[in-house]
Chain A
Amino acid sequence: MKTFNPDAMGEKLLRRLAGGTSRRGILSRLGLALVAAPAFPLLPVSRASAAKPDRSPEAKTNFARNAQSTDDTKCTYWRYCAIDGSLCSCCGGALNRCPPGAEHSPVSWVGTCINPDDGRAYLIAYRDCCGKTYCNKCDCDGTDRETQLYVPQLNNDVIWCFGTTSMEYHCSTAVLVGTA
């Protein structure tokens, strides 16, 4: 499966970020974070399997086999394969929008989730909504391809409220970035 491609993820996210923020501080620190990226080895698994994406049920995780595309207030909604926290769609916001008064973080961690309707893998940016206290409704913890702190862009425990006026975590959205 073409599930891991940190380079492509980085590029897509950077393009989105470039159009979405003007905060110098966060950009310089993000720039530093990305400078480190070429030092990361390209994963054999992503390279070897990139040519032939395997979308068969046998290749899908337990989450992907049971995912649905109709109710985005449930943890089983397909885009939530690597989300962690309260769903903004249960907190007055939407799948990809913050609740009133909360602020979208310009950066995020990412997941690669399979849409059950077309069988394609999509890159999802889990952008935290910040500046209000924890919503604590519809708490989900998708762990598909979720890793540990030393790969922060694939770790869903980090409070991703960088570049926002407050780092208080409220809830998480699942923004579709493109095909993975």
Chain B
Amino acid sequence: MMKVQGKSSLSARARYTAAAVCALTLLGGAPAAQAADPLQPDPELEAVTLSAPKPSWVFVERGFVVPGNTIYDTDTGKMLGQVETSHLSDLSLDPAGKVYYVAESIWSKGSRGTRQDMITVYDAATLKLKSEIVMPGRILIGGRKFNFVIGEAGKTAYVYNLDPASSVNVIDLVKGKFVKKIELPGCASLMPVDGVGFSALCSDGSLATVKTAGAKPEIVRSAPFFSATNDPIFDNFGFNGPKQEAVFLTYTGQVYTAKLGATPTISEPFSIQAAAGVTPADTKPLDVYWYPGARQGLALHSASGLAYVLMHTGEYWTHKEPGTEIWVLDVAAKKVTKRIPLEEPAATIAVTQEAAPKLVLGIEDGTLLILDAKTGAEKFKLEKSAGGVLRTLEP
């Protein structure tokens, strides 16, 4: 009985469809018997799902006023999906590839009402909301890679806050809980340091290392090694998580490497221009040199130790200028091994961590370029696809 009733109710829609098809056939008046069968209506389908993130993928912030992070596969040039990231949020990738984390701030009434700061967790396969981890606050700024970082093999997150005092939220990602807030005066741009906590660059030209385990966090600063106001280090620097190393680049083109840890060591600097065989730059007005620059101007390929740097010519204090060339810097050898000229200047650069890596460039007009990193040959040119920061998977 139940079965019959079910069948009869199911067929209501089918009967309606059949009647409509009959009516159409009659109206047509054509020899219906000879026509091919009509197309069947599409069945109800679930949304497409994604595989775990791949090293060939790039995550592209859509821009300052446009929410969302678009996922592209640099192997195919195809868009795969979009992670929901609200205005001025920060995306971070789970090393296990199971979820996507978004540090974001939203208000109960759109742009007003009660402010809510959280890490929003999305399932990596469905891109659907999984959970929210409430936290006290976070900085609002666009275009930065190091305000929301993940350490301890995906177990701990650090979120930078400026209100306008400077602090860091420590989040336990396994328990999905905010743990504590650490005041961090005068420092920002976070690097996770496994077994210790995190390091940050400071306005006195030092590198601060914060041990987070104790009841009272311990902050140790290195000796100052750069001038934060006269020749600052770009806060979108190169970071190699697995090797716990950073490559710092200053406005004039000085390159430092740092081995992170409880007691970090920082190398003597060298000039990227000297490494390319051209005149090193200075800070004087009127002097025109090659300078590093752009909004995200350095991409580090961890396995090879090659840094891809956006360079332009101009005077000092042109550090946001997009790059007209990519300089391929072998950091360990202190040698620029290749210069790749660009047809259109680029504002952002990332490199996939594949054995045969690809470069991803954001052009100011919104074009996303995908190049073979070895040859500089263009693989894909995607219009209306670039915007803010580019992110790739760590090796």
Contacts and interface: CB of A to CB of B under 8 A. Distances in A.
Interface of A: 4, 6, 26, 29-33, 35-36, 39-41, 43, 45, 58-65, 107, 131-134, 136, 141, 143-152, 154, 157-162, 165-169
A60 B285 contact: yes
B235 A150 contact: yes
Given A41-B224, A43-B227, A62 B315 contact: yes
Given A141-B320, A157-B143, A151 B228 contact: yes
B235 A43 contact: no
Nearest to B107: A166
B228 A148 contact: yes
A159 B320 contact: no
B186 A150 contact: yes
Given A62-B315, A136-B65, 17 more contacts: A4-B229, A26-B164, A31-B165, A43-B229, A43-B230, A45-B227, A45-B230, A62-B314, A132-B111, A143-B318, A146-B317, A148-B235, A149-B147, A151-B229, A152-B164, A166-B107, A168-B111
Contacts of A160: 164
Contacts of A40: 186, 203-204
Most buried by B among A131, A148, A160: A148
Which 10 A-B pairs rank lowest in CB-CB distance, beginning with the nearest? A36-B185, A32-B165, A159-B140, A168-B111, A148-B235, A150-B188, A149-B188, A33-B165, A29-B165, A36-B186
B316 A61 contact: yes
Contact of B166 (A31, A33, A141, A143): A33
B284 to A, nearest CB: 8
A26 B162 CA distance: 11
Contacts of B202: 150
B166 A165 contact: no
Question: In the complex, which range does the number of interface residues on chain B fall in?
Answer: 35 or more
Contact of B285 (A32, A58, A167): A58
Nearest to A170: B111
B159 interface: no
Nearest to A132: B111
Contacts of A59: 285
A146 B163 CA distance: 20
Contacts of A162: 163-164
Interface in B130-152: 139-144, 147
A165 B88 CA distance: 18
B257 interface: no
